[in-house]
Chains A and B, each alone.
Chain A
Amino acid sequence: MIKRLFIANRGEIALRIIRTAQRLGITTILGASEADASSLPAFQADEVAIVGPAPSNQSYLDVDAVIAAAKAAKADAIHPGYGFLSENARFAQAAADAGIIFVGPDISSLNAMGDKLMARKVGIEAGLPVVPGGEAANKDEALARAEETGFPVLLKAVSGGGGKGMRRVDRAEDLSAEIDTAMAEAQASFGDPRIYVERFIASGRHVEVQVLGDGENAIHLGTRDCSIQRRFQKLVEEAPAPAMPVEKRAAIEDAAVRLTRHLNYKGAGTVEMLVDAETFDFFFLEMNARIQVEHPVTEAITGVDLIEQQILIADGNPLGIRQDDLTLSGHAIEVRINAEDPDADFRPSPGTITRAAWPAGPGIRVDTHIATGGKVPPFYDSLIGKLIVHAPTREEAVEKLGAALATMQIEGITTTASLHAKIAADAGFRKGGVDTRFFKEFAA
């Protein structure tokens, strides 16, 4: 039985994990940097252990420092949240070596999904469709691949994420120069210059499936649509994926469960698919072996606490939920409130929050670590909170989102709330089912 849970993260997700763990009767220890020593998660945690100074490479990303703090705190389990060390196989191994349960999948699953190319290979083994393309060790191979798949193509970094090293190429004559840039970016960002070539799907939607597995059985908890992105960073997420035929959605969910079974996957995971917005054909992209930022929309429509499920599975319990037990109810939308100025090229806006009046009431959930008087330090990412609305239909959820954003008042720093209010009023968004080009056109 997990009795002492070490939370190796910060911000809203740390607070979110602490709340569920405390409800389950587990003692929580927050591993905080010096800059977060008096944050709201630190205030809420039963105990606080300082893992290092403010910069994340000396604290939240320092495997040895985090493991040492967890050992000193006599933790029997570590929850890594998302980002930081959450998908780091070396960290999971170090926890295991210290006799501490890693709340996440087995190391074999982390390795299987460790880079995009390996994920692609595993997807093919599990019988999932993937976007035509493949690895390219040099320019000749890249050109050969591109000729197989046809232009335009997308160059992607094998170890990539967050859009870095990703480039669209429309013409064969541009390929050589673009490969140089993509390889340089991949090397600078990930220390791995390898790239691969994929057919570019012009009108694609980012649809993902939440799955749970206990190593033997696997279930899905429906889809999420995260097509509204800026530079491959998600801004708005909703569940289930709207404006899609039911049987197409079911095919995507089934494929995700097939992959989860194939991996004998343990814990909560997200299977990401690229869906053609016109034909609804889908292609497997990768699996995120962690809790996702956007998990609350799934919780809203299923009533399942995903952090609780992660903890129960990590503790060795078999899945307590069967597929037939689940019914998806209503529609949920999440918007990410970031400390950024949407009118100044999304420039970061850290500082002190002089007033934080977040929306409240039935059908509204706010996951945040920011209260009035709180500080947004300049060391970490800009997410200050997530507003999640849930209603019987998508139309009602969109209405609720607009009304909630209109009531919200965050003062002292600039946030993306105003941008979300405009998105909530946009005709294309209100109609539903937009593709990943939405934001570029919306912002133009």
Chain B
Amino acid sequence: MSKLPLTPDAVSEIVAIIDGSGYDHLDIKTDAFRLRLRREGGGDGSADGWTQDWSFSEAEAPAGGDKVATVAELPDGLLGIAAPLPGTFYRAPQPGAPPFVEEGETVDENTVVGIIETMKLMNPVHAGCSGTIEKVVVNDATMVDGGATIMHVRPA
């Protein structure tokens, strides 16, 4: 495929050439990619230099490809516990262990209700509210987006 059309050295050379000109940016757009070179700063001197901003057309765009849990809207009268960051949601501290909480259990703000594994780190999920777990809406070991609702809570 070899679709990246310019090597890093070629980009450096282009920048060196336009740096000596009066131009402040260069925008190259083809079907496959877009490269924007821009002279930054101007004035205060602290941000004096060029940037390169690459993007790729939608069809070619690098993407995550991961399946993310989609969550329906909150039913009336219930609160949601949101994933503090994106990652894999686990209901139990380790495989085979009992879940942190079951439906029907009461929680307070500091109750740990699950963990989210992100970039090899385990992050606890706190309930953040007091009440009874009405429903666990995300299955164990599922990818979630940051902010996704993972449990419904009936407020105390």
| Stretch of A272-280, A285-293, A353-361 lying at the B interface | A353-361
Q: Are A350 and B62 in contact (CB under 8 A)?
A: no
* A406: chain B residues within 8 A (beta carbon): 40-41, 46-49
Q: Are B8 and A365 in contact (CB under 8 A)?
A: yes
Please pick, from A44, A374, A380, the residue contacting B4 in the complex, using a CB distance under 8 A: A44
Separation of A351 and B55 alpha carbons in the complex (Å): 16
Q: Are A22 and B2 in contact (CB under 8 A)?
A: yes
Q: Are B15 and A360 in contact (CB under 8 A)?
A: yes
Chain B contact residues: over half helix, strand or loop, or mixed? mixed
Per-position contact with B for A1-32: 1 when CB-CB < 8 Å, else 0?
A: 00000000000000000010010000000000
* A349: chain B residues within 8 A (beta carbon): 85
Of residues 22 through 64 on chain A, the ones whose CB sits less than 8 Å from some CB of chain B are 22, 34-40, 42-46, 54-55
Known: A350-B118, A378-B118. A35 touches B50 (CB 8 A): no
Q: Are B19 and A361 in contact (CB under 8 A)?
A: yes
Q: Are A360 and B50 in contact (CB under 8 A)?
A: yes
Please pick, from A46, A357, A378, the residue contacting B119 in the complex, using a CB distance under 8 A: A378
Q: Are A357 and B53 in contact (CB under 8 A)?
A: yes
Known: A43-B4, A360-B11, A371-B62. A348 touches B49 (CB 8 A): no
Q: Are A38 and B62 in contact (CB under 8 A)?
A: yes
- Of the listed residues A355, A375, A378, the one surrounded by the most CB atoms of chain B closer than 10 A to its CB is A378
Could you tell me the distance in whole angstroms from the C-beta of B47 to the nearest C-beta in chain A? 4
Please pick, from B8, B40, B63, the residue contacting A407 in the complex, using a CB distance under 8 A: B40
Separation of A364 and B4 alpha carbons in the complex (Å): 19
Q: Are B50 and A373 in contact (CB under 8 A)?
A: no
Separation of A355 and B34 alpha carbons in the complex (Å): 13
Chain B minimum-CB-distance residue to A33? B65
* A302 is an interface residue with CB less than 8 A from chain B: no
* A360: chain B residues within 8 A (beta carbon): 11-12, 15, 37, 49-52
Q: Are A403 and B47 in contact (CB under 8 A)?
A: yes
Please pick, from B12, B38, B62, the residue contacting A39 in the complex, using a CB distance under 8 A: B62
* A430: chain B residues within 8 A (beta carbon): none
Binding site for B on A (CB under 8 A): 19, 22, 34-40, 42-46, 54-55, 339, 347-352, 355-362, 364-366, 369, 371-375, 377-382, 402-404, 406-409
Question: Can you give 5 contacting A-B residue pairs, CB < 8 Å?
Answer: A35-B64, A372-B53, A378-B117, A406-B41, A407-B50
Q: Which 4 A-B pairs have the closest CB atoms?
A: A357-B51, A360-B52, A375-B64, A348-B119
